[in-house]
Structure 1
């Protein structure tokens, strides 16, 4: 039993790279297809969200089974007569349900705001990469600078996503000397940013050209700061803990509150309620750390293809 949460977490993390959406026109057609509901239901048991629900949902459902069996034994006379039936009025649950719903809504909405900010920031990174490459090709014709520009988004991606192979990614664009220098740096994206800046700062360019180049470098610098803020500062932990505790305690008492009205239906009622609410909470937790959810590999790959063209 103790290994179930570890298995669920391993499955969730293992499947994450395969679910990073990078849509084409055909993907959008499939996305809005009238058959999407059937497709979504068919993939239910392979969903990383559903897999991660196994520990909490089965725990509270198991407790509802125990409460139901206990109450059934007491009411049927099979248990000692001094044992009470576990039941309670449902009014407290009716009063606290809106508070729980608001907690979950705010949690998910805040997480999506972080995801959206990360997505927009990476759009700026890719756009600045293309702009710098275009300006370099038009005004500077420096192969080293071009390589550093292409390497920057790759280094930033690896800096943000745990388990990335930065050496393998950077080897595609940097020579051995530059690769060793960057890998020895404590902060690889900042190292590349400084290398780009030093080359541009040493060039004899017009004021307009300098302004355009430095605007894109400033975008790089700002993007690094935003990405590190998102990766280093989660939603306040007190809010996350409150939501988790509220969810668990609310569902632990749910079988007792539902017994008088649902009887044996307490078990499926608890299961579906916990599955629905824990699912909403799990989505909020997943997208709170946005970068593993974004298709950064494909973004960098497409940017590299566009620059080569």
Structure 2
């Protein structure tokens, strides 16, 4: 009987134990060598039945993902609403805005409001707490629990004393956010005004015969500046798509390669101004307009990079949470199970005020920046298109006025 050249340490019927071992076909088991170093610890891996692949943890269901499903969905709806396009108000929109049916329209559109959707996680949580406390107190009152379990109740005096403080805190928080919104709106109003004024002076001062190419380029840069600033401030903006119809391909490549796109366009404008054949006073007047662009960038960057002091925001949030966690206990003696709807209404009202303050704290997604940029570009293009017609009309009036005067300066009389 010949001996096999292979030495089998483990019989085929007893494969080495492994926490990830899953035999595919038990009739074709092959002997495997004993590992050189035995380990005494075997990691326990619990996987979902729907996701047996350990390399894809996104499909694994656990308690944390279930609890976060509602807040994550609310955040997605809110962020989608933040990226929604804003329109400038027209006469028709103002009529609709002040319509007597606006209250019905606002109530009917509540489910599609990102503010209302963002309130679902806190309202659901505090309502659940109120239901739990109400059920616990009812069970204690009906002797369904041992006698040493107390009824959760408290005096309303602390709430009466702290209610004005909470109201003032919410008012100051919202007022501080609105001041940032107003500051951002004023900064953009000035940017758009300077853009139109600078383009008007370039159209009036620069001669088409001598500096026609430079004039076209500088007007393109002026139109591109508010667009670049808008993309710099708004999250997930496609600056290449927005500027490819305004700038030439070579200029666009330089702008995209820079770290601060609005400053790069200001440099384009400044360098082009130096090449124009203008008088020194006119060139200085145009250079002075660029300082307003720099001022707008500084204000916008300051608003974006510096939120309301975080301690103020955290204090407001903690105050609201503690207030609504203890609200069912305070109201139990007077309301009993009515504390559930009372807690829901209170959470929806107060957290709504706090949510609005958080939304307008970042003012630029709330402004119709894209429409402002389109309006500025349209005005500049219209000024370029009507330049020759206006010049011809003004020249014709000047010739008519000169023909109506005699050489000695007295107006000539029409002969009858």
Q: Compute the TM-score of the two structures, normalised by the length of structure 1.
A: 0.97
Question: Conserved in 2, the CA contact under 8 Å of 1:111 and 1:288?
Answer: yes
Give the Cα–Cα distance (whole angstroms) in 2 for the partners of residues 28 and 214 of structure 1. Answer: 38
Query: What residue in structure 2 maps to residue 84 of structure 1?
Result: 150
Deviations 1:64-83 (A, max 9, x none): 11001101111122222211
Give the Cα–Cα distance (whole angstroms) in 2 for the partners of residues 156 and 249 of structure 1. Answer: 41
- The Cα shift of 1:41 comes to 0.4
- The Cα shift of 1:193 comes to 0.5
Query: What residue in structure 2 maps to residue 64 of structure 1?
Result: 130
Which has the larger helix fraction?
A: 1
Question: Conserved in 1, the CA contact under 8 Å of 2:234 and 2:364?
Answer: yes
- The Cα shift of 1:303 comes to 1.1
- The Cα shift of 1:21 comes to 4.4
Query: What residue in structure 1 maps to residue 106 of structure 2?
Result: 40
Give the Cα–Cα distance (whole angstroms) in 2 for the partners of residues 301 and 288 of structure 1. Answer: 25
Q: Answer yes or no: is 1:117 the counterpart of 2:183.
A: yes
Which runs of no fewer than 5 residues in structure 1 stay unpaired? none
Q: Which of these residues, 327, 334, 355, is aligned with residue 254 of structure 1?
A: 327
Counting matched residue pairs gives 309
Question: Conserved in 2, the CA contact under 8 Å of 1:19 and 1:293?
Answer: no
Q: Answer yes or no: is 1:179 the counterpart of 2:227.
A: no
Q: Answer yes or no: is 1:199 the counterpart of 2:199.
A: no
Question: Conserved in 1, the CA contact under 8 Å of 2:198 and 2:286?
Answer: yes
Give the Cα–Cα distance (whole angstroms) in 2 for the partners of residues 234 and 61 of structure 1. Answer: 31
Query: What residue in structure 2 maps to residue 301 of structure 1?
Result: 374
Query: What residue in structure 1 maps to residue 50 of structure 2?
Result: none
Query: What residue in structure 1 maps to residue 365 of structure 2?
Result: 292
Select the structure of larger CA radius of gyration. 2
Give the Cα–Cα distance (whole angstroms) in 2 for the partners of residues 104 and 21 of structure 1. Answer: 29
Question: Conserved in 1, the CA contact under 8 Å of 2:87 and 2:371?
Answer: no
Query: What residue in structure 2 maps to residue 273 of structure 1?
Result: 346
SS in 2 for 1:107: helix
- The Cα shift of 1:306 comes to 1.4
SS in 2 for 1:2: helix
SS in 2 for 1:89: coil
CA RMSD of the aligned region, Å? 1.1
Deviates more, 1:39-48 or 1:14-23: 14-23
Give the Cα–Cα distance (whole angstroms) in 2 for the partners of residues 268 and 27 of structure 1. Answer: 36
Q: Compute the TM-score of the two structures, normalised by the length of structure 2.
A: 0.73
SS in 2 for 1:33: coil
Q: Answer yes or no: is 1:235 the counterpart of 2:308.
A: yes
Q: Answer yes or no: is 1:3 the counterpart of 2:69.
A: yes
